[in-house]
């Protein structure tokens, strides 16, 4: 989003006009930004056979998936439904990594039936898999490295108390099951969380993985997850992708030369690819002054963007209707019957009732975590591509809210 000649624009389209055409609340995605982020990763890891697996949970709109597929991305799914959506978007089974967590074994069987790259993350499922498939279906293993990393405890997934992955201290049990059932391990995977800024964290993960990898002679890939941090506000420290690509890539090359064959380096970014591309456009319903604070109540809330309340996430908010107005302090809240603060004590250009506000960095875990709480409709979604705004998901209707309800006879 750029301010040009006093107008906030994406690909030279005024966002206020996009909001007027499609209504609010509205998710808007800049396709050009998504493709640029994907290319940044490819360039950063260009010295290795990097495969970028988009973490579909961040944004599952099929048009976004098709855009990423078109420009060379694979996909990482965490549910069988995500995998089926990916297949519908044109991804081949070979391009999909399926890493479910705490699912019924029937979902693992469904992944095998679809021919996906499967990644298992607990010992009981590994044993069930071995009993059923033996050496007939190669799989990957997700490991828990016992590394605390990421923005906060809620988004760190590699510490000792995390539900994700098989503990590296349980390697003997893994090896026992592999030997007992002749399981072929073709990949190792670690993902320690989100918003990791330090290259050294990834190098520490690599050291752990490389040490373990020597026990598995049939590896095809090593997956380092992601967690690459993007900027949410001016001055934010972000992941230096090029420093990471250089140092991790160099360490990876040294390892596979000693391992005896070239391996594929996999990463699975979600937020890095789509977060900065997305904007949630909302209308200011009311401006409510109290003795202590001035609230701006908008036609959205935690039902559409839950990250501020769930993770204390910061999202910059901009008044795109009044970019030259004098600045005042506001707390932006939603219209949900909960405390649903989207941004507290924000310095914004004067907000008037009816103004359109843009909530930035809304491309990841925005719509994909949205709900119909308070029986509110989920927003429409629009993709801006080649300077044109295109509707890629309709706004919910009352029919959508009632579609699966069954009215019973109470007589």
Per-residue pLDDT tens over the stretch 376-389: 999 999 999 999 99
At which residue do the structure tokens 């391992």 appear? Answer: 259
Residue from 102, 337, 398, 407 carrying the catalytic annotation: 337
Tokens describing residue 121: 């993350």
pLDDT digits (tens, 9 = 90+) for 297-307: 999 999 999 99
- DSSP per-residue codes, 231-298: -SSTT-----HHHHHHHHHHHHHHHHHHHTS--EEEE--SHHHHGGGEEEEEEEEEEEE-SS-EEEEE
Look up residue 193 and give its DSSP letter.
B
Tokens describing residue 322: 């009044």
CATH number, domain 2-28+275-402, options 3.40.50.150, 3.40.50.300, 1.10.390.10, 2.40.37.10: 2.40.37.10
Give me the residue spans of the domains in the chain.
Answer: 2-28+275-402, 99-269
Query: Dihedral, CA atoms, 238, 241, 244, 247, nearest 10 degrees?
Result: -140
* 2-28+275-402 and 99-269, same CATH topology: no
Distance CA 392, CA 352 (A): 30
State how beta strands 26-30 and 380-385 pair.
parallel
Class of domain 99-269: alpha beta
337 included as an active-site residue: yes
Is residue 208 predicted with pLDDT exceeding 80?
A: yes
What's the rounded mean pLDDT across residues 25-38?
Answer: 98
pLDDT digits (tens, 9 = 90+) for 223-257: 998 888 888 888 888 889 899 999 999 999 999 99
**In this prediction, what percent of the chain has a pLDDT beyond 70?**
95
pLDDT digits (tens, 9 = 90+) for 335-371: 999 999 999 999 999 999 999 999 999 999 999 999 9
Of residues 266 and 163, the one with the higher pLDDT is: 266
């Amino acid at each position: 989003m750029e301010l040009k000649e006093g107008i906030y624009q994406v690909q030279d389209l005024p966002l206020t006009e996009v909001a007027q055409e499609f209504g609010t609340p509205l998710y808007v995605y800049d396709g050009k930004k998504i493709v640029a982020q994907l290319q940044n990763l490819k360039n950063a890891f260009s010295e290795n056979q990097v495969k970028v697996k988009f973490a579909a949970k961040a944004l599952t709109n099929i048009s976004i998936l098709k855009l990423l597929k078109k420009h060379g991305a694979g996909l990482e799914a965490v549910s069988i439904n995500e995998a089926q959506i990916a297949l519908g978007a044109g991804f081949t089974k070979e391009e999909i990594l399926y890493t479910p967590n705490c699912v019924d074994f029937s979902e693992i069987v469904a992944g095998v039936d679809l021919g996906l790259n499967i990644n298992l993350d607990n010992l009981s499922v590994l044993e069930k898999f071995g009993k059923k498939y033996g050496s007939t279906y190669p799989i990957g293993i997700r490991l828990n490295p016992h590394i605390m990393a990421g923005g906060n405890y809620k988004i760190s997934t590699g510490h000792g108390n995390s539900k994700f992955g098989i503990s590296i201290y349980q390697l003997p049990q893994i090896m026992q099951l592999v030997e007992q059932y002749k399981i072929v391990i073709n990949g190792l995977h670690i993902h320690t969380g989100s918003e990791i800024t330090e290259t050294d964290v990834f190098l520490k993960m690599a050291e752990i993985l490389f040490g373990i990898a020597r026990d598995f002679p049939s590896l095809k890939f090593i997956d380092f997850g992601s967690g690459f941090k993007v900027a949410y506000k001016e001055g934010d420290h972000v992941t230096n992708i090029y420093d990471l690509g250089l140092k991790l890539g160099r360490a990876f090359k040294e390892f596979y030369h000693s391992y005896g064959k070239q391996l594929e380096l996999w990463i699975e970014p979600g937020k890095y690819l789509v977060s900065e591309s997305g904007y949630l456009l909302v209308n200011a319903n009311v401006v409510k002054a109290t003795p202590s604070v001035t609230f701006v109540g908008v036609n959205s809330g935690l039902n559409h963007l839950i990250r501020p309340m769930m993770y204390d996430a910061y999202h910059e908010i901009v008044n795109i209707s009044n970019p030259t107005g004098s600045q005042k302090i506001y707390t932006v809240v939603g219209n949900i019957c909960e405390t649903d603060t989207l941004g507290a004590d924000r310095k914004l250009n004067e907000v008037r009732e009816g103004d359109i506000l843009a909530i930035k960095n809304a491309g990841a875990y925005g719509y994909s975590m949205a709900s119909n709480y308070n029986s509110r409709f989920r927003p429409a979604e629009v993709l801006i591509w080649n300077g044109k705004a295109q509707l890629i998901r309709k706004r919910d209707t009352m029919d959508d809210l009632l579609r699966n309800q069954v009215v019973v006879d109470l007589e």
